[in-house]
Amino acid sequence: MSEKKPFLTLEQAREITRTFPTPFHIYDEEGIRHTARALNRAFAWNPGFKEYFAVKATPNPFILKILHEEGCGVDCSTDTELMLAKAAGFGGGEIMFSSNDTPASEFARANDQGAIINLDDFTLIETMEAACGVPETVCCRYNPGGDFAIGNEIMDQPREAKYGMTRAQLAQAYRVLMQKGAREFGLHAFLASNTLTNAYYPTLARILFKTAVELHQETGAHIGFINLSGGVGIAYRPHETENDIAVIGEGVRKAYEEVLVPAGMGDVRIFTELGRFMLGPNGALLTTAMHEKHTYKEYIGVDACACNLMRPAMYRAYHHITVLGKEHAPEDHLYDVVGGLCENNDKFAIDRRMPKIDRGDLLYIHDTGAHGFSMGYNYNGKLRSAELLLHRDGSVQMIRRAETPKDYFATFDFAGLTFD
């Protein structure tokens, strides 16, 4: 069971809000390093193991730098993510470029930065070749189609996913790429998102390992690495059981020993591209209760809105909320916790049992470290918040300032517009 314990106390939060007004996202350096180390330990049996953190989850160079120090690379999928990776100090071999529907210019930039290109589609071979030639090392993304099941449970439907190549295209891609000079190949697949079972990676690994053995036998391609991509989830809800990364690593090792080693492929490196697992629980959105409204329901209006955290509005995703200082108070009130957008889906919680909330209370919205700030937007002219980093010594650094109206208006030049 996950405990849903904030990494901040009320006192710490009050102290921080003296300098930085809510709302803001705050990240926990200690937690980030701890998670990265646990992952690296879980896969230490594979000497070439590397995590390529999915930049889209938390595109902040200060965060990327911490992960770099822990031995991680980055997974990029756009021009700007590549620029971030460069600024944060990631060089050749430390960047995976897992894009789709890719413009030619982005292949060129990825190649210039020494990124490993992960091709989403057969037709992109031509785009890539025209943009930057065919690199010696290339990865291909696999989509096995059908349903992806673990035991009797259907986890997701790859046949409905826009990503990856069919099995036949994969073999053809390897052959064509070899003719054009590629020498080392990778195999990648992302078949289910936010999985809460230690069996996801091992099941996926077994599929990819078997496919890699077959592809090697069919085409003669040298397969240097297998990329398990993202998808290892986190326990957003209090009653859920967290994934155990050590058990996951051990499950992948077992599949490796049973499938790859007997096929003479015991030198294959394992890569991951985790986003949510690395950062999700290590970030929180802090917001202040501003208003209470009593109509057909009880509402608490906060100073954050869906522009700061889109997941509840977009997926009806659950994010646990702790009222700081009331961790042990009885949950005897039923609230909708809402933001100020003119959109009725702007609700962080619906019919949630919580302690009595008073105006001025600080609400800690859990698990916003991945796909939180990064999915932010500007609807209703709402401005993006600051991002803060809680260091191990307890100090707090602003790693991105909050937007101002000037940022919002920066993309047009209209006479008479002033910012005061």
Ligand X SMILES: *Cc1c(COP(=O)(O)O)cnc(C)c1O
Choices 83-91, 196-204, 274-282, 373-381 (CB under 6 A): range interacting with ligand X? 274-282
Task: Return the closest-CA partner of residue 211 out of 141, 272, 274.
Answer: 141
- Kindly state whether residue 231 participates in binding ligand X, applying the rule CB under 6 A: yes
Only one of the segments 15-23, 272-280, 300-308, 411-419 lies at the binding site for ligand X (rule: CB under 6 A); that segment is 272-280
CB of 34 to ligand X, least distance (A): 17
Alpha carbon distance 44, 272 (integer Å)? 13
Name residues whose C-beta falls within 8 Å of residue 389's C-beta, 6 or more positions apart in sequence.
Answer: 26, 27, 29, 62, 63, 396, 397, 398, 399
Does position 317 bind ligand X by CB under 6 A?
no
**Any contact of residue 59 with ligand X (CB under 6 A)?**
no
Q: List Cα–Cα distances, 320 to 246, 260, 285, 354, 355, in angstroms.
A: 25, 41, 11, 10, 13
Which one, 61 or 372, has the nearer CB to ligand X? 372
Q: Quote the tokens at residue 264.
A: 């003479």
Residue 203 near ligand X by CB under 6 A: no
Q: Which of 250, 238, 126, 139 is nearest to 199 (CA)?
A: 250
The residues that bridge with 142 in the sheet, in sequence order, are 165
Q: Helices in 317-419 by DSSP H: which ranges?
A: 405-408
- Of 296, 305, 378, which is closest to residue 346 (Cα–Cα)? 305
Q: How many residues does the chain have?
A: 420
Is 303 near ligand X (CB under 6 A)?
no
**Six-digit token pair at 332?**
């005897």
Output 73 or 275, the one with its CB closest to ligand X: 275
What six digits make up the tokens of 91? 């060089």
Residue 34's contacts (CB-CB under 8 Å, 6 or more residues apart) are none
The answer to whether the CB of 323 falls within 8 A of the CB of 356 is no
Which ranges in 316-371 belong to alpha helices (H)? none
Question: Segment near ligand X (CB under 6 A), from 6-14, 50-58, 211-219, 250-258?
Answer: 50-58
User: Minimal CA–CA distance to 96: which of 82, 83, 80?
Assistant: 82
Contact call for residue 372 and ligand X (CB under 6 A)? no
Assess 273 for contact with ligand X (CB under 6 A). yes
CA 206 to chain centre: 23
Interface residue with ligand X among 16, 42, 55, 57 (CB under 6 A) is 57
281 binds ligand X (CB under 6 A): no
Applying the rule CB under 6 A, the residues between 69 and 128 that interact with ligand X are: 75, 98
Q: Which residue has the tokens 């589609």?
A: 121
Tell me the C-alpha distance between 414 and 388, whole Å: 33
* Part in contact with ligand X (CB under 6 A); list of ranges 20-28, 53-61, 338-346, 380-388: 53-61
Nearest approach, Cβ of residue 26 and ligand X (Å) = 19
What's the min distance (Å) between Cβ of 252 and ligand X? 15
Report d(CA 23, CA 355) in Å as an integer.
21
Q: Number of residues interacting with ligand X: please give it, by CB under 6 A.
A: 17
Task: Confirm or reject binding of residue 35 to ligand X (CB under 6 A).
Answer: no
Interaction between residue 276 and ligand X (CB under 6 A): yes
**Of residues 102, 111, 229, 385, which one binds ligand X by CB under 6 A?**
229
* Site for ligand X contains 143 (CB under 6 A): no
Residue 367 touching ligand X (CB under 6 A): no
**Interface residue with ligand X, options 164, 249, 275, 369 (CB under 6 A):** 275
Which span (223-231, 282-290, 328-336, 408-416) binds ligand X, by CB under 6 A? Answer: 223-231
Structure tokens at 155: 């986890």
| Minimum CB distance to ligand X smaller for 213 or for 248 | 248
Task: Choose one: 59-67, 196-204, 238-246, 275-283; the region binding ligand X (CB under 6 A).
Answer: 275-283
**Per rule CB under 6 A, is residue 190 in the interface with ligand X?**
yes
- DSSP 3-state of 202: helix
Distance CA 255, CA 202 (A): 7
Nearest to 323 by CA among 24, 28, 6, 31: 6
Q: Is position 211 an interface residue for ligand X (rule: CB under 6 A)?
A: no
56 touching ligand X, by CB under 6 A: yes
Q: Find the residue with minimal CB distance to ligand X.
A: 230
Q: Is 274 in the site for ligand X (CB under 6 A)?
A: yes
Does position 36 interact with ligand X (CB under 6 A)? The reply is no
> Does residue 54 bind ligand X (CB under 6 A)?
yes
Interaction site with ligand X (CB under 6 A) = 54, 56-57, 75, 98, 190, 193-194, 229-231, 273-277, 370
